[in-house]
Amino acid sequence: MSNSERRIISFEEGWDFMQQGIQKLLEGLPELNITADDYMTLSTTIYVMCTQKPPHEYSEQLYEKYKETFDGYIKSTVLPSLREKKDELLLRELLERWSNHKIMTKLLSRIFRYLHKYHIRKRGLSSLEETGFLSFYYLVYDEMHRQVMDAILAMVFSVFHFYVIYKQFISQFIIDGN
C-alpha cells in the first residue's frame, strides 16, 4: 500500500496507542516485557506518523511527547522513590533508577528512531539518547545532588572511621601481644 493509500493516523489516536505501549514498557523495567510484535507496531506507528503528508505529519509533536515521557516518568516515579531514601539506600536506589533509565532510553530511542533520522537531524536538535539522559540529569541532579553528596560523604566518613578504629585495634593488639 502506498503512502497516499494509507489510513491517516490522527495525533491523538497515534499518541494514545504509543502511550499504552510505553506504559507497558515502563511497568516491566528493568525487564524488557515488550514482544517483537509490540516493538514493530510501535516503531511502525512512529514511522507512519512522521511520514504522513502535512498537516498530518507529527514529527515535532512526537519529539516533544518523547521529552515529556521522560520528564513525566522521572517526576512521577523516580524522584518520589529517591526522596524516601537516605544514605546508602539512596545511593543504591539512584544506581537502580539510573540503570533502568538507560534501558528505557535505549529502547525508546530505538522505537522512535525514524524521528531521529528524519526530524532531529534535519532541525539540528538533541538526539533521542541525549534528550533522555539530559532529562534524568536535569531533573534528578537539580533536586537530589545535595542529598547524594551527603550520602557519599557519610559513606566515606564511615569507611574512614572504621579504618581508624581498626588501626587502633591492631596497634593495641600488637602492643598488648608483646
CATH label of the domain that carries residue 52: 1.20.1310.10
Q: Is 47 inside a domain boundary?
A: yes
Q: Which amino acid is at 105?
A: T
Phi, psi at residue 7, to the nearest 5°? Answer: -70, 135
Q: Is 115 inside a domain boundary?
A: yes
Q: Is 21 inside a domain boundary?
A: yes
Instruction: Tell me the C-alpha distance between 109 and 123, whole Å.
Output: 17
Instruction: Tell me the C-alpha distance between 5 and 7, whole Å.
Output: 7
pTM of the model: 0.82
Q: Are the C-beta atoms of residues 118 and 50 closer than 8 Å to each other?
A: yes
Instruction: Answer whether residue 178 shows pLDDT above 70.
Output: no
Q: Is 161 inside a domain boundary?
A: no
pLDDT at residue 29 in the model = 82
Q: Is 170 inside a domain boundary?
A: no
List the domain range (segments joined by +) for residue 47: 11-144
Q: Is 149 inside a domain boundary?
A: no
pLDDT at residue 35 in the model = 87
Q: Is 87 inside a domain boundary?
A: yes
Q: Among 26-30, 33-37, 63-67, name the most confident range.
A: 63-67
Q: Structural domain tally of the chain?
A: 1
Q: Is 60 inside a domain boundary?
A: yes
Nearest to 65 by CA among 42, 82, 81, 83: 42
